[in-house]
Amino acid sequence: MSATVIIGAQWGDEGKAKFVDFLSSDYQYIVRYAGGANAGHTVIFEGKKFVFHLVPSGILHKHSEVVIGNGVVLDYDYFLQEVRELEAEHIPVMERLYLSDSMHLILPYHKMIDQAGEEMLGANKIGTTGRGIGPAYQDKMSRKGLRLGDLHNEAYLKERLDAIMSFKGKELELLYSLPPLDKNKIFDELRSFYEKVKHRIINSPFFLNEKLKQGKKILLEGAQATCLDVDHGTYPYVTSSNPTIGGALTGSGIGPRWVDNIIGISKAYTTRVGSGPFPTELTGDLGNHLRELGREYGATTGRPRRCGWLDTEALRMAVRVNGLTALAIAKMDVLDEFDTIKLGVGYTIKNETIDHFPSYGLERVTPIYEEMPGWKTKISSVRSFADLPVNAQKYIRRIEDLIEIPVRIISVGADRNATIVRP
C-alpha cells in the first residue's frame, strides 16, 4: 500500500496545499482528482507565493511528477496560463505533468452558464467561483461532455462538437438568452490546446496502478472539501463534485487497497466562502479580526472568507465519511493572541442536543461551545509538540478527544518548514 489522500475536512481553503507541499518530498507522483480551477491552493516556497488552480502543488519538488486525473474538469485557458506562469518562475512543468485522457474539458459556455445561472438565482445564489464547474459536471453526468481523449481524432472531435453544441446552443439561447456559440472558434482553440499537450495525455488509471505495482508512492491532492461535497456537504450550497474519499478513488482510478493514509486537513478555526449555513460563524468584530489575522481572502476570487470557531461536529462528519486516519491542523499561529478560544463541540436544535451533523437544516442548529484559555505566545518558530505552550497542547488534545483520531501534523506558519510532525 502506498497511496496517501489529502482531503479538506471543512469548507475549503484549510491549507491543503501547504501540507501537500510539505509531504511531497516522500512521494513520486502527486495527483489532483476532483474539481477544477475553482480551487486556489497556496504554497509559500523560499519566500515566494505560488497559487495553484489546476496543476498539483507537488510540482515545486523537482523530483516529483504530477497527474491531473480523470475526476478533474479542466479549463484549458487557465491551465495553459498556469503552466506559463510557473515556467516563467523556472519551474519546469510540461515534462513532469500528465493529463488523463478521460477528464472532461470546461468549454467557454460552461462559464457563461455558471455566471448566468447565479444571476438568475438572485438572493438564492450559491456564490460559485464562476469557473464553470457545475455546468461542466452537469454535462459530464448527462453525457454531453467533451473529454480530453476526444481531441485525438480531428474528425471525431468535429462530429462530437457538432452534436454537443447544437444542443448547448439551444440551451444558451432559450434558457439564458445568451448569444450563439462560435463553433469554429472553439474547435480551433481545442486543436491549438491539443498540439501543446498531446504528448502528455495518458490513460491515468493504468499509469498510476502500474506505478503503485512498481512500489512508487502516490499522494492524492484533494480540492474543495467535505462540507462542499455534493453528497455529504451542505446541499445545495456545495460544489458539483465529490471531494471526499470516494471521489479520490473514482477521480484517479486507484483501487482502495492501495490507500493507507487518509489525512483530513482543518484550520485551527473555520472559514467558508460563498453562501450557505455555517453554525460557528462569527459575524461581528471578532470575525473581522480573525479574517485580518488569518488573511482570509480567497485565493481564487479574492472574496473575503467568512470566519468562525472550530466546529468539531463538522469534523466528526469528515472523519466518518472519509474514514480519516489522521488530521492535520493548519494556522494554529493565527490564534496566538486570543485570551480565550471557543471550540464547537456539538449542536442543539430547539434546545435538544443532536448527535450528528445533519444532512438537512444545518441553518437551524445552535453550536455548543467549550471555552479554553488561549496561549498568548507566538508559536510560529516552534518545531515540536512538546515545545508548544501548554494551552496550545491542550487545545490539540481536546480536538483529538472530540474527533477520535490523532492530530499528526500541526502548521504554525505558511512556510514549508513552519510545521510540527508528531511521532
Catalytic residue numbers read: 13, 41
Residue type, 146: L
3-state secondary structure of 249: helix
Q: Which residues share a beta bridge with 65?
A: 29
Query: Which of the choices ligand IMO, ligand GDP, Mg ion, none does residue 44 contact, using the CB cut-off of 5 to 8 A by kind?
Result: ligand GDP
Closest CA to 276 of 225, 220, 228: 228
* Bridge partner residues of 73 (DSSP): 104
Per rule CB under 6 A, is residue 225 in the interface with ligand IMO?
yes
Q: Does 223 engage in binding with ligand IMO (CB under 6 A)?
A: yes
**Of the candidate residues 266, 333, 338, 382, the single one contacting ligand GDP (CB under 6 A):** 333
Among 3, 16, 131, 396, binds ligand GDP (CB under 6 A): 16
Size of residue set near Mg ion by CB under 5 A: 3
54 binds Mg ion (CB under 5 A): no
Burial of 180 (0-12, 13-18, 19+ CB in 10 A): exposed
Given the complex with ligand IMO, which of 240 and 419 has the nearer CB atom? 240
Q: What cell numbers appear for 220 in the block? A: 492524492
User: Closer CB to ligand GDP, residue 233 or residue 253?
Assistant: 233
**What is the three-class DSSP state of 238?**
coil
Query: What does the angle CA 15 – CA 374 – CA 408 come to, to the nearest 5 degrees?
Result: 40
Cell numbers given for 60? 515545486
Binding residues for ligand IMO restricted to 43-62, rule: CB under 6 A: none
Report the residue number, 41 or 140, with the smaller CB distance to ligand IMO.
Answer: 41
Binding residues for ligand IMO, rule CB under 6 A, total: 22
- From candidates 6, 7, 9, 13, binder to ligand IMO by CB under 6 A: 13
Residue in 45, 49, 47 with CA at minimum distance from that of residue 60? 45
Give the residue, chosen from 57, 226, 239, 242, that forms a contact with ligand IMO under the rule CB under 6 A.
239
Report what 413 binds from ligand IMO, Mg ion, ligand GDP, none; CB cut-off 5-8 Å by kind: ligand GDP
Q: Which of 9, 14, 64, 269 binds ligand GDP (CB under 6 A)?
A: 14
Least separation in angstroms between residue 299's CB and Mg ion is: 5
CA distances from 417 to 47, 117, 348, 387 (A): 11, 43, 40, 16
| Dihedral sign of CA atoms 239, 120, 185, 84 in order | negative
Under the binding rule (CB under 6 A), the answer on residue 39 touching ligand IMO is: yes
Work out how close the CB of 317 gets to ligand IMO at its nearest, in angstroms, rounded to a whole number.
Answer: 17
Place of cell 523537482: 62
Q: H/E element holding 410? A: strand 407-411
CB of 311 to ligand GDP, least distance (A): 16
What is the Cα–Cα distance from 321 to 381, expressed in whole angstroms? 34
Residues that bind ligand IMO (CB under 6 A): 8, 12-13, 38-41, 126-129, 131, 133-134, 223-225, 228, 239-240, 273-274
Residues that bind ligand GDP (CB under 6 A): 8, 12-18, 40-42, 44, 299, 330-331, 333-334, 411-414
